[in-house]
Structures are given as structure tokens and as C-alpha cells.
Amino acid sequence: MEALIREDESAPSGVPERWGDIDWRRVDRNVRVMQIRIAKATQEGDWRRVKALQRSLTRSWSAKASAVRRVAMNQGARTAGVDRVEWETPEDRWEAIGRLEHRGYRPLPLKRVYIPKSNGKKRPLGIPTMHDRAMQALYLLALEPVSEGTSDPNSYGFRINRSTHDAMSQLFASLSKRASAQWVLEADIKGCFDHISHNWLERNVPMDKAILRKWLKAGVVFQGQFQATDAGTPQGGIISPTLANVALNGLERQLDASLRAKFGVVKSNKLKVNVVRYADDFVITGNTPEVLENEVKPWVEKFLAVRGLTLSTEKTRIVNIADGFDFLGWNFRKYSGKLLIKPSKKNVQAFYRKVKEVISVKKTAKQDDLIRLLNPMLRGWAQYHRPVVATAAFTKMEHQIFCALWRWAKRRHRGKNAEWVRKKYFATIEARNWVFGTTTVDKKGDPFWLELYSLAGTQIRRHKKVRADYHPFDPAQEMYGEKLRQARMSDDMSHRKQWIKLYMSQQGLCAVCQSKITKETGWDDHHIVPRVLGGSDALGNRVLVHPGCHVQVHHYGRIAVKPVLD
């Protein structure tokens, strides 16, 4: 492993000459070896060595190539910053690797855009340039091993192989038993990303201080006007979620230590104080409202104040579990002593408005086009709520969408009776009536049946929570991490069983670059022998590849093969 690092750092003669020749498995291996060393030094508390290893990583060719690939091939790759530059070609990406230098680096201001929130307000986003995004991705590679090693056990937001479902499962474990805590502090930080203290970040984030300061002070441009930034880390930057996590790390551990120091181990355990956090959203349980109001809440306010943050007085409240509370789109409530987790009313209403808006806008669209628009939305919403008590919500939502589609269909044929409209747009499939579907053709011109995704037909499947002590950069846990990643990717592909078979047969590796396929990278279903040349749809003629690699296969002659495992 040391040889790999020395070879990478010394800019070896073996470095490829163009983007298409990069050996991504070797790149990933070099980066991971260095990240493992950083994580080990962090666990040992050797901060001088951590700093040296981070410096080595951010100057390595492999890390720079990995950072450019992440920025150039993710879903936001077509969103340019204030310089309006996009890395559309392999030549652009290759040149970008060489420009990732810390010496003389000056980030450009962020482009300010606003996106709507569920409450009708707008959330500000700051979009860096492609070059600045790649620099953030580069330094994030060096920061993640440290932040993972210092994170609270029950922090689940924007961390590797952790999700909202893990936070939900931990809350269930903390509240479901008869002897569990009955009171919850439902907390909300007021403008977390916009108000984090720059001074605190510069003093406490374990990364290059000069680079961090430049990002924080870069400013934003909105409607042609420059605005300075004196606080906060912009939502939209690649490294921003991790910076927010670093700022809030210690909320769980330090609160527990404070209560133990004040009340002793035995009494503090009886207080049943448990923290579950997802990014800047968190809840804290307690056995009495007095404990939460007089002990926990004041401590949290002091903890946040040091970081320039405050609790929102309107959204922060203490509730009994029998009355319930909302968290991450779910409602947690005990009914006659039994904890049930359901989709929250707010989440359900927001999703229905979104679906109804699509149906309303597409008044003149073809039926198959409307189905193709709606199916990913319905499937994604169903998969999110599948691990909870959602059957009733699914059935009700399906009925509401049916009514909206019925109105859509009748509006298109005002002169026709209801029976004629039913036969044109709805069908009976075995025991299912009123199925919204139609016969259409695939790319080869062959007819097939296309129908709306059935919410009511979604099977409830319980979520298996990640281990609290899981560390993605600990070699001893690498096998556990790989199994966890593959299991969760299989869940994401559950609507396409053939994708699961391909994914498992490829051990989760892209058939072109032989790097990991993840939810973040995305994937395409590639035919080795194209269908237009007579290739079949059999699994033997298909592989999963990254979308960017797919482009290289079709336009630059890269070859897709089944990954050869070490």
C-alpha cells in the first residue's frame, strides 16, 4: 500500500495521457489507502500526522482525478456557476485535473438561486463553479475520514451508507418499548447553513484553513449584484453538509457526558435522554418534560450559541409521544402504548400537490408520456415510506390520484360518455380494475403494456439499520460496508429484478471503469451488442455502467466487460 501512495504522489510516468485511459479502480484504491491512513491517525489522536496525510492526499493525482469525476459525472454536472463553464467533454475533464492546484487558488462567488420549500417559502442555494466544486470534492476526500471518526453514533445525515431510514429505525428503538421515554424535544435550528460562525469553522474544522477561509468568504452573486458572506456555509456546495455535520458533532456525546457529570451514571441513564440527528434536524428524548425543558434545552442552546446558531422558537417544542411528532416526513406516535410510524400529513399533502400539478400541466400529453413522468415519482415516494406503517396512506393516495386522472381523461373527451373514457384509458388486469395504462412500443418498435405504478401494491419491507459503530474507513469493517452497500443498492433497484441480478453478478462494479456503482453515481443498462445490430435483451448481453462511462462507450470506443475481481 505504501508503494501505491509513493507512486501516486511522485506523478509517475504511468499516469495516463487522456481521460479515457484512466484506470479508475487504481485511482479508487490509491485514494482509499490514503483515507484509511487518515482515519487511523484520527483514531490515535495524532493530529499532526492527520494534517500531513491530508496534505499528501489533496496533492495526489488520484485524488484530483476522483474529484473531477465526481463533479463532472453527477446529476448537477450540467449546472454551471457564475463563469457559465461546463465540463462536457473528456478533454475538458482531463484539463480540469491539472488545474486543481492549491497555490494561487481563488474561488469565484457562488451563483445564488432559490428553490421552493414545502411551506411555500424559498430555500437559498449557492452554486459554485465546476472548478470550485472539484476543489471542494478534493478536500472533502481528506476531510471525510476525520469527520467519520469524530461523528456522533446517532448522526445519520450526509454520511456514507447512512440514511433517513436509519434515523427512523433508531428512534423506533428509543421510543417503542413500554419503558421507553415518553417525552420528545422536537428541535429545529434557525437557518443552520446560513448562520454557522465562520470563526468557529476556521478554528475547529480539521482541514486547510486558508482554503476553507476562501470558500467561506467567496460571496454570492444574485441578479448581477455581489453580496459578501460573513456567516454560514452555502447550501449547494459539495463540502457544505460535512461542514455542518462537523459543527454539530458532539451534540450527542457532549450532552451525555454533561448529564453524567451532573447526575452520575445511574441517574443520567434513568433520564432516558437519547439524541437522533439527521444533518441539522434532530430530536431528543427524555423521561419527563422538566428534564427536557430545564436541563437539555438550555444545554443545547449554549452548545449551538458557540457555533453562531440558535433554536427556532416557532418550530422547537416538547411533546408527549402519545400526541406524536413529525420527523423526516414521518409521524411518530403511540396509540394505546404501541408506537406507529406513518407518513406525516404534511408529507402526504405536499406529494399529492406535486403529482396533481404534473397531471394539470400535462393536459394534452399522451397517456404513455404522462405515465412515464408519474411512475418515478410514485415509486420513489412509495420506496421512501415502504419501511413504515404506510398501507393506508398508499391506498388513500392511489384513490386520490385515480380521481385526478379520471378528471384528466374526461376533460380530454368532453363529448364522450364515461364508459367510452374508461375503456380508452383504464383496463382490468387479472383481479385489478381501473388500471391506468396503455399499449405502447419500445425502442425496437415492439408493443408492450405500460401502466401506472400501483402504490397500493407496494409491499411493506422493514429497514435494517446500520450499526451505530460503523466506520466506512475502518479496514476491519470493509466487508460489512460492502454488504451494506450492495443490500441498499438492491433495494433501490427492487422495481427491476434484472438490474439486481446484473448488479450482484458484477459485485456492484461498473463494467467500464470497474469502480463502484452507487446511488450517487447512478447507472445505465448497457447492451454489449447493440439491439440495432441484433443484440438481445438477455442478461448475458447486458451490463450496468456509470452514465458517464456509457457515453464513453458509445462516443469514444471504450469497451464494457464484466468486472474481473481481485
pLDDT of residue 530: 80
**pTM score, whole prediction:** 0.89
- Residue from 465, 470, 549 nearest 506 by CA: 549
pLDDT of residue 522: 83
**Residue pLDDT tens, the chain, 566 long:** 444 444 454 344 467 888 888 888 899 999 999 999 999 999 999 999 999 999 999 999 999 999 999 998 877 777 888 998 889 888 999 999 999 999 999 999 999 888 777 666 777 788 899 999 999 999 999 999 999 999 999 999 999 999 999 999 999 999 999 999 999 999 989 888 888 999 999 999 999 999 999 999 998 888 888 888 888 887 778 999 999 999 999 999 999 999 999 999 999 999 999 999 999 999 999 999 999 999 999 999 999 999 999 999 888 999 999 999 999 999 999 999 999 999 999 999 999 999 999 999 999 999 999 999 999 999 999 999 999 999 999 999 999 999 999 999 999 999 999 999 999 999 999 888 999 999 988 777 778 899 999 999 999 999 999 998 999 999 999 999 989 988 888 887 877 888 888 888 888 888 888 888 888 788 888 888 887 677 787 888 889 988 888 877 877 667 777 655 44
Residues 117-151 pLDDT 10s: 766 677 778 889 999 999 999 999 999 999 999 99
Q: Is the dihedral of CA 127, 130, 132, 133 positive or negative?
A: positive
Beta bridge partners of 235: 237
**Within a 10 A sphere around the Cβ of 43, how many other Cβ atoms?**
15
Contacts made by residues 39-44, CB under 8 angstroms, sequence distance 24+: 39/145, 39/146, 39/148, 39/149, 39/471, 39/473, 39/474, 42/145, 42/146, 42/149, 42/150, 43/149
Report the length, in residues, of the chain: 566
CA atoms of 267 and 258, how far apart (whole Å): 12
| DSSP three-state, residue 465 | coil
- Sheet-wide strand order for 432-441: 426-429, 432-441, 447-451
pLDDT on residue 119: 63
In the chain, the N- to C-terminal Cα span, in Å, equals 15
Q: What's residue 11's pLDDT? A: 44
Strand residue runs (E) in 442-536: 447-451, 524-527
How distant, in Å, are the alpha carbons of 369, 411, 416, 449, 451 from that of 374? 9, 19, 25, 16, 10
What is d(CA 392, CA 10) in angstroms, rounded to the nearest whole number?
61
- List Cα–Cα distances, 228 to 48, 224, 370, in angstroms: 33, 13, 44
pLDDT of res. 5: 42
Q: What pLDDT, on the 0 to 100 scale, is given for residue 504?
A: 87
**Dist. CA 537–CA 111, nearest whole Å:** 44
Residues 341 and 324: their CA atoms lie apart, in Å, by 10
Query: Is the Cβ–Cβ distance between 20 and 552 less than 8 Å?
Result: yes
Residue 293 DSSP class: I
Kindly state the DSSP code that residue 121 receives in the 8-state scheme: -
What are the pLDDT digits (tens) for 344-394? 999 999 999 999 999 999 999 999 999 999 999 999 999 999 999 999 999
Residue with grid cell 368532453, as numbered in its chain? 414
User: How far is the C-alpha of 97 from the C-alpha of 61, rounded, in Å?
Assistant: 8
C-alpha cell read off for 59: 496533492
> What are 114's strand-pairing partners?
124
